[in-house]
Amino acid sequence: MSPGGLPPRPQPARHQLDAGLFGNLRRQLFDQVRQLARDNVVAEGALTFADLGIRPKTAEIILPTYLDRFRAHGRFRARREA
């Protein structure tokens, strides 16, 4: 028994920890490599953004909205020109 009166917790083996922490990562990397084995080019005659009613925006418009949380004092402080 441990000092708190509870039975000791079983400790997982190191290989079990590695599999739990990195198993999904290994699988993801393997899947990415497998996908890169073939070209993934849009087929002739495929629908375009315009056909689907999507108006693309440039990265310059979108990226600042993702990066706001990394600004000094957060997203609610007034912006200053760099």
Tens-digit pLDDT profile for residues 16-26: 555 566 666 77
What average pLDDT score do residues 36-59 get?
90
pLDDT at 39 over 90: no
CB 1 within 8 A of CB 7: yes
Question: What pLDDT sits at residue 50?
Answer: 94
* CA 6/CA 11 separation, integer angstroms: 15
Task: Report residue 22: phi and psi, to 5°.
Answer: -115, -5
CB 55 within 8 A of CB 49: yes
Residues 6+ apart with CB under 8 A from 2: 8
Task: Report residue 57: phi and psi, to 5°.
Answer: -120, 155
